[in-house]
Amino acid sequence: MQEAIFLMHDSLFKHIEIRTSEKLTDYEKEIISDAFAKKRMRKRQFFLQEGDVCKHLGFIVKGSSRMFSVDEKGHEHIIHFGLESWWLTDPESSIQLIPSRYFIEMLEDSELLVISLPDVYELRNKSRGFDLTFRALDKFSTIAMHKRIHAAIGMTAEERFSDLSSTYPEFLKRFPMNMIASYLGLSPETLSRVRKNAIRK
Amino acid sequence: MQEAIFLMHDSLFKHIEIRTSEKLTDYEKEIISDAFAKKRMRKRQFFLQEGDVCKHLGFIVKGSSRMFSVDEKGHEHIIHFGLESWWLTDPESSIQLIPSRYFIEMLEDSELLVISLPDVYELRNKSRGFDLTFRALDKFSTIAMHKRIHAAIGMTAEERFSDLSSTYPEFLKRFPMNMIASYLGLSPETLSRVRKNAIRK
DNA sequence: AAATTGTCTTGACAAATGTCAAGTCCGGGC
DNA sequence: GCCCGGACTTGACATTTGTCAAGACAATTT
């Protein structure tokens, strides 16, 4: 049992060391382990639900997720996906401490590491590697969101799909097409037709 | 002359103190002043051009800007606008040190404060207020980009325009409608029609 | 003042995308 | 093994949005 916990944390340590290009000290590993709780979630369980304030940050050790909103007409819009070593949070809710407009749902049986936001803050002060990781993540996600905006306002359906295929090929293997369509802001039917055309070429 | 420079820096100091809710020390003001250079730019001048690596950060003391890309068909897509006390940069280019895919153009005669990226890094280490400002900006821009993605993939033209009107009413006063259309990912004609309908209601 | 340029609108038409309905295929639950 | 529901596709049609062309008007330049 204890072993399994260490294995989960190892995946987080690895993530941090890769992102920062620095080794974690034993002390850092210890305080990081203490701050994160292991959490198993089943397919279709919600990490966050609309109306809740997002007070925790999740790290995906194994599994996948989607973050989506539901509009007045009941249509779902997928803001983004999560896969192994991605983080789960609603920045809008967690930064401003307001109720979230989104759901975060696990798409497979998953294993997470969960930490409270005050603990994140504390850990960033205590561990340089931990702090650097979050700075790097901020930069990384800024670039990714920029590209996404660019794609959404400036590309046709076909270009957006082709862009996704090269940027996140993993998405096509792990997520059903109707969700990919929602992520791209298309109807499933349009995506289906776009794909048929793309193959012909 | 010296006076004018101080006035410009004052606008930056004020911005930092508001963002951080803390007073800057005299020492901080001094090193910040030293690191930023004053720069006047005329309408239609470029702060950044496609293909250049973005090595400077700009702070708008007075004036406005737009950041846009040009696609293969020659169409421009506005990624975002800048107004007084907004920052000018291409995160993708400046973080990864790769050539930019964007232009940043001033839309009015403007006054900027400009700093090199290494100096930003140094200043963040030396001044707590300066560092906190950039952390706050990162959070702020993360939330803003999230909303923008949500709008782009999940809203109709009319909803996007109405969303923009309430979020950034200033844009409508300062920027021509064809640029607003580009920002929303619409043709100018569509925006014109959308506005006509919106008024009727 | 005249000429030029830019901004915005409008109409007619074309293209892209959404909606609704039906049908096939596949895999999980019983 | 059978049944059922989800995933994906296809067709017909509606709606939205884009494109092209023209014109009114205002601001800017000369």
Task: List pLDDT tens digits, range A103-132.
Answer: 999 999 999 999 999 999 999 999 999 999
- The pLDDT confidence band at residue A1, using thresholds 50, 70 and 90, is very low
Q: Is residue B174 domain-resident?
A: no
Residue A126: predicted pLDDT: 94
Q: Is residue A23 domain-resident?
A: yes
3-state SS string over chain A?
CHHHHHHHHHHHHHHHHHHHCCCCCHHHHHHHHHHCEEEEECCCCEEECCCCCCCEEEEEEECCEEEEEECCCCCEEEEEEECCCCEECCHHHHHHCCCCCCEEEECCCEEEEEEEHHHHHHHHHHCHHHHHHHHHHHHHHHHHHHHHHHHHHHCCHHHHHHHHHHHCHHHHHHCCHHHHHHHHCCCHHHHHHHHHHHHHC
Q: Is residue A22 domain-resident?
A: yes
Interface residues 90-119 of A with strand D (CB < 7 Å): none
Neighbours of B48 (CB within 10 A): 23
The model's pTM is 0.91
- The pLDDT confidence band at residue A198, using thresholds 50, 70 and 90, is confident
Residues 6+ apart with CB under 8 A from B39: B58, B111, B112, B113, B114
Q: Is residue A200 domain-resident?
A: no
Residue B1: predicted pLDDT: 41
Mutation target vs B (from A90, A104, A146; most B CBs, 10 A cutoff):
A146
Domains of chain B: total: 1
**What torsion do the CA atoms of A165, A171, A175, A176 make, to the nearest 10 degrees?**
0
Q: CB of residue B141 closer than 7 A to nucleic acid strand C?
A: no
Full domain range(s) for residue B73: 2-126
Residue A75: predicted pLDDT: 87
Q: Is residue B54 domain-resident?
A: yes
- CA–C1' A107–C29 (A): 19
Query: In this predicted model, what pLDDT tens digit does every residue of A20-39 receive, in sequence order?
Result: 999 999 999 999 999 999 99
**Which positions on strand C lie below 7 Å from a protein C-beta?**
6-12, 16-21
pLDDT at A2 over 50: no
Q: In this prediction, what percent of chain A has a pLDDT beyond 90?
A: 89
Neighbours of B125 (CB within 10 A): 10
Q: Which amino acid is at B49?
A: Q
Q: What is the CATH number of the domain that holds A55?
A: 2.60.120.10
Q: Is residue A64 domain-resident?
A: yes
Assess B152–A contact: CB distance below 8 Å, yes or no.
Answer: yes
- Using CA atoms, how far apart are residues B14 and A154, in angstroms rounded to an integer? 36
Q: Taking residues A171-183, what's their average pLDDT?
A: 96
Q: Is residue B93 domain-resident?
A: yes
Q: Is residue A148 domain-resident?
A: no
Query: In this predicted model, what pLDDT tens digit does every residue of A45-92 receive, in sequence order?
Result: 999 999 999 999 999 999 999 999 998 888 899 999 999 999 999 999
Low pLDDT (below 70) residues in chain B: 1-6, 199-201
